[in-house]
Structure 1
Amino acid sequence: MVPVVDFNVYRLGVDNVSDKDLHQLGEELRTAFTEVGFVYLKNTGIDEQEVDHVMTTSKTFFLLSEEKKMLFSRGNFPNSNHGWVSVERENLNPRRPGDLKEAFNISSLLPDIEWPSDGVDEFRNVHVSFFLRCKELSLRVLRVMALSLGIEVDIFLKAHRHIGSEENTSTMRTLYYPPVQSVKEGQIRCGEHSDYGSITLLFQSHEGGLQILNRKMEFIDAPSIPGTVVVNIADLMQRWTSDVFVSAVHRVLSPPAGDTRTRQSLAFFVQPDNDVIITCCDGSNKYPPVNALDYLLARFQESYSRN
């Protein structure tokens, strides 16, 4: 079972928090990230109406014709991770057929980069605003994580100074899972994988499908809980903490036959700054040093190379 932790004492907008409250919060996060790798946070300062508004705006884009969406394809921009990703373009589990999802990646906030506008009013403003909200929440979570480990409180914050700039590849993905009509053998909405960077924030619509691989090597459901955000550890953070925090494999199953409901989610993938060298923060040599950007590009190659 994925634990639920109340983040109210350090929610967005709260700046004065006692050491006792931060310590307690850190203990709860450490337990979740050590034992499961995932946690639900409630009372973060980001409410359900805010999330619904972003998803509604996103869906307007996803329902456009493929011809219009192709104008914003990932790879058409100076920042190679910005833009639209079509259904089956990714294989997050390369042993399966392409994932039954599409996405729009927001990884560049440059004022001159192109954004959808035809039939999608305020797409840029809505998504950039939410990107910045997720950035602030992520930094708060990272600070509490460092406190929970008993290390320098700003060690993770210093490595994420440039989120939202060209010096950092943190990405918000708005994801749309269209109705499933037919599938190839072994095909699901999102293949088994672990995330690449530091942490991920995930906001889900009410349709199910997300599953997490627990320590017993069993997949457990992680349904949408209204008013919460799912936060999980990613691979670089597991290396960084010498396996104290666990980056758990997860997937999104396809719905049962005859269920044509769509699914949406918003994922904020937090990456260290491009030039950061990740070394074990306990001073051990359990993992060799690795450059954050090089590591990410290698993982992208795995996900996109077959399509």
Structure 2
Amino acid sequence: MGRTTGRATAVDGVLEVPVIDISDWKTGTEDDRAAIATAVDEAASTVGFMQIRGHGIPDSTVHALADALDAFFALPLEEKKQLRSPSPDINRGYTPPRTEKLSLSLGVPTVAEDLFEAFNVGSEASSFPGLNLPEAHYPANIWPAVPGFRRAVGEWCTHAGGLAEWLTEIFAHALGLAEGYFAPFTDHSLDVLRMNHYMLPDREITLDRDQMGMGAHTDYGIVTVLWADRVPGLQILDTRGGWHDVLPEPGCLLVNLGDLLARWTNDRWLSTMHRVLPPTDDNGRVVRRRSAAYFHDGNWDAEISCLPGCVPAGAEPLYPPTTVGRHLAEKLAGSRAGQLNENSPREAARLRAARND
């Protein structure tokens, strides 16, 4: 049942990211729920990405988020830099362009820094009174003085977080687990919203040969809910080492699985390698692309070890147990602090085997 590649399967050279409508999950019949769970299991086992329709997030919430991103990223660079976190260990605040290398989170060095700029907010210790959660894992957010930004971003986090929890209900059903299985692992989840912006300053008209909008990586946690412009750039890696373009379908949110869910399932489900090329038009000029990735990562102190039924009889799990906090710290030390992550040999081998044609 375990997989050794962790990469998506292309059929006749085409890698399809399936569209799954989940609107009947809460109000439909048992057959409806079974059909949705089966579709999710198939997508999770073969692609690691899916397009979710029927998520129930209002268009007004989507538009407000996009407007908030526009307002923030339009600020002067020096003003945005005042909102950087005091340490790369603190996954909050502003990240200027060319300051991260996502491939380091996989243990693969690269010469060129990634082009994207970003702004992060996430779960705070104060949101879980009485639990005495460590500020190091649940730091306070840094908010810009942009009218309406905090309200719009907070509303999006509420909706995206609700969708992530909804998806974990479906995941439990699809994996044959008890209803609510994941709740004790996610009731004070380390959730982060990373808002990304890809756009070179006007004076920069050329790119380094190996320049990435965002370097190749897998997502670190349980599940990611992604809103993105319908602008080319996002690519996912298949089992043969080829990269495939992915564009979100109208009305859909892209959802992909993270490393912790892959570890949980012994790679029955995939944490698929992906990257973002510098978005360009037909003439090769860099164009703007926006995205917002909501990472549902689990409780900092939750132990992740292989789920029941995911290891064949007589076999050993592919991954040793870890905690959410330890795993995220190793990954973030690579991407944000520039330290080569030496604890991802399987992911590093996948990236080194990828073709760049």
Instruction: Confirm or deny a common fold (TM above 0.5).
Output: yes
Q: Give the Cα–Cα distance (whole angstroms) in 1 for the partners of residues 220 and 279 of structure 2.
A: 26
1:227 maps to a residue whose letter is G
Which has the higher mean CA deviation after the structures are superposed, 196-205 or 150-159?
150-159
Q: How many Å apart are 1:113 and its aligned residue?
A: 4.5
What does the per-residue CA deviation read over 1:131-182, in whole Å, with 9 as the maximum and x for residues that have no partner?
011111001101101101111222222211113xxxxx21011111114632
Pick one of 100, 117, 124 that aligns with 1:102: 117
Q: Aligned partner of 1:115: which letter?
A: W
Amino acid at match of 1:290: T
Contact 1:103 1:173 in 2 (8 A): yes
In the other structure, the counterpart of 2:12 is: none
Q: How does 1:4-153 map to 2 (within 5 A)?
A: 4-10=19-25, 15-75=26-86, 80-94=90-104, 95-96=109-110, 97-109=112-124, 110=126, 113-117=141-145, 120-153=146-179
CA distance in 2, matches of 1:193, 1:58: 23
Asked if 2 retains the 8 angstrom alpha-carbon contact of 1:35 and 1:215, the reply is: no
Of 101-110 and 270-279, deviating more is 101-110
From 117, 142, 158, the equivalent of 2:184 is 158
In 2, the alpha carbon distance for the partners of 1:2 and 1:217 equals 17
Give the 3-state SS of the residue equivalent to 2:62 in structure 1: helix
Instruction: After superposition, give the CA deviation of every residue in 1:18-59 in whole Å (9 maximum; x if it has no partner).
Output: 322211100000000001100001121124442232021112
**Alpha carbons 1:82, 1:108 under 8 Å: kept:** no
Q: Give the stretch that moved more between structures: 174-183 or 200-209.
A: 174-183
Moved over 6 A (4+): none
- Kept in 1: contact 2:198–2:278 (CA 8 A): no
Q: Structure 2 stretches of 5 or more lacking a match?
A: 1-15, 128-139, 340-357
More deviation, 260-269/177-186: 177-186
**Residues 60-95 of structure 1, C-alpha deviation per residue, up to 9 Å, x if partnerless?**
111111221122113369x81111111111101233
Letter in 2 for 1:242: N
Identity between Structure 1 and Structure 2 (%):
29
C-alpha separation between the residues in 1 aligned to 2:173 and 2:239? 25
The aligned amino acid for 2:115 is L
Give the residue type in structure 1 aligned to 2:188. H
Between 104-113 and 90-99, the greater mean CA deviation after superposition: 104-113
Q: Which residue of 1 aligns with 2:197?
A: 176
Contact 1:33 1:233 in 2 (8 A): yes
Of 268, 277, 292, which aligns to 2:294?
A: 268
2:8 corresponding residue in structure 1: none
Task: From the superposition, tell whether residues 16 and 4 of structure 1 become closer, same or farther in structure 2 (CA, over 3 Å).
Answer: closer
1:203-282 mapped onto 2 (5 Å cutoff):
203-256=227-280, 258-282=284-308
- Is the contact made by 1:38 and 1:248 (CA closer than 8 Å) also made in structure 2? yes
Residue aligned with 1:206, SS: coil
Aligned pairs, number: 295
TM-score normalised to structure 2 length: 0.78
Q: TM-score when scaled to structure 1?
A: 0.90
CA contact (8 A) 1:47 1:227 kept: no
Residue in 2 that maps onto 1:166: none
